[in-house]
Copies of this chain bind each other. A is one copy, B any other.
Amino acid sequence: MKSGWRLQTQTGCTNTKAQVSQILKYCNSRCLAVVPQGGNTGLVGGSVPVFDEVIVNMSLMNNIISFDKVSGILVCEGGCILENLITFLDNQGFIMPLDLGAKGSCQIGGNVSTNAGGLRLVRYGSLHGNVLGLEVVLADGNVIDMLGTLRKDNTGYDLKHLFIGSEGSLGIVSKKLLMEAKRKLGEILSAFEFLDSKSLDLVLNHLDGVRNPLPPTLHKFYILIETTGSDEPYDRQKLEGFLLHAMEAGLISDGALAQDINQASSFWRIREGIPEALMKAGAVYKYDLSLPVEKMYDLVEEMRTRLSDSANVVGYGHLGDGNLHLNISTAQYDDGILTQIEPFVYEWTSKHRGSISAEHGLGLMKANEIFYSKPTATVSLMASIKKMLDPKGILNPYKVLPHSLSS
């Protein structure tokens, strides 16, 4: 077994993704084989050269790019050593959802490439669940940016999973995103929903038998929190402590705690009844967007200004996931109103790096809008995969992929 070439030098020739891209482009054009190498701690020989492969060592790409304490999202380069990330997050009061014996030398890019499991999997699940996005350099040097920092994004195939656990045989992981466990109530929190006063109004006006559990003073926003735990008395104390703290800190102005399962159901009826109430109110234009939490409601307010009295704009959704359901209710469908809404709503979302379909998918209606949420190279890769698996294009045609690529 001959040893491979190491391209890493003291001057750091692989310390940017552009360099990784150049190396691969060069090697591909000359049919030179490549072994991506992280900490080289793997146990089955995945990161060692077999004959005369070029080793692309990632150690110099070891920068932590950003960490957002609100969303718990860490962005870093593929060569970061796992233990450094654990220590960094620990200092911020967060927990890295991955830990394993080789943490002192293994690198996060290698962890992702091998879908490393380790000691915390039982709690936090596998990297397929914890990696929110990836940037990958393909064999021909093309960089595929799958780096959305959103918890929910249902615009097309979720290609990052193809690379997680592919052991460097499909591409080199240059940058990645990790989602962290949240603090406070985190482990028993099972739902964290919000609705605005116009949503509540709609439900109270259009659905029978629904009543407001709070005094009739209208507040601007309502939050529905549900917890599910294994030990009811302790979990209840934990929830009550949290609510008391939030009240004292002025974060909430009033609240009601469901006393039994029937009351809990009646709270849920308000939240789940919004789509039904909207249908009863007339025509409705529905948008299901992922946005950075702090900007979520700005879009609702901008849309209200834009449409003034011609429509009732309501916002509700899954606050914990950064998922806004923006619904615009009018007496009847009207092309004039539609042109005021679209493409504005997609452009606004794209500008704020959101997703135009958090959970509803693209289907027929939004297939042509995919480029607002996905880079061209990613959409092309989706089209290639579609072509490979369904060469005659018989499965669910005209959906998901834009018409320009699906014929």
Closest to A27 in B: B394
* Cα–Cα distance between A206 and B115 once the two chains are bound (Å): 30
* Cα–Cα distance between A116 and B198 once the two chains are bound (Å): 26
Q: Is A280 an interface residue (CB 8 A)?
A: no
Q: For A47, what are the chain B residues with a Cβ–Cβ distance below 8 Å?
A: 363
Known A385-B162, A396-B46, A397-B53; judge A186-B230 contact (CB<8 A): yes
Describe A's contact surface by its main secondary structure: loop
Find out whether the CB atom of B323 lies under 8 angstroms from the CB atom of A117.
Answer: yes
Within 8 A of B (CB), among A109-165: 114-126, 128-129, 138-139, 151-152, 154, 156-159, 161-162, 164-165
Find out whether the CB atom of A360 lies under 8 angstroms from the CB atom of B43.
Answer: yes
Partner of A121, one of B151, B234, B400: B151
* Cα–Cα distance between A169 and B36 once the two chains are bound (Å): 33
Known A43-B286, A44-B357, A390-B139; judge A117-B395 contact (CB<8 A): no
Known A101-B272, A129-B129; judge A165-B157 contact (CB<8 A): yes
| Chain A 58-72 interface 0/1 with B at a Cβ cutoff of 8 Å (1 = within) | 000000000000000
* Cα–Cα distance between A401 and B169 once the two chains are bound (Å): 9
Which of A8-16, A187-195, A212-220, A329-337 makes up part of the contact surface?
A: A187-195
Find out whether the CB atom of B46 lies under 8 angstroms from the CB atom of A168.
Answer: no
Q: For A318, what are the chain B residues with a Cβ–Cβ distance below 8 Å?
A: 117, 119, 121-122
Q: Is A358 an interface residue (CB 8 A)?
A: yes
* Cα–Cα distance between A286 and B166 once the two chains are bound (Å): 21
User: A79 to nearest B CB, angstroms?
Assistant: 17
Find out whether the CB atom of A48 lies under 8 angstroms from the CB atom of B364.
Answer: yes
Find out whether the CB atom of A362 lies under 8 angstroms from the CB atom of B44.
Answer: yes
Q: Is A249 an interface residue (CB 8 A)?
A: no
Within 8 A of B (CB), among A373-403: 384-386, 388-401
Interface pairs (10), CB distance under 8 Å? A44-B366, A50-B399, A53-B397, A101-B275, A114-B359, A122-B318, A122-B320, A161-B161, A167-B363, A187-B188
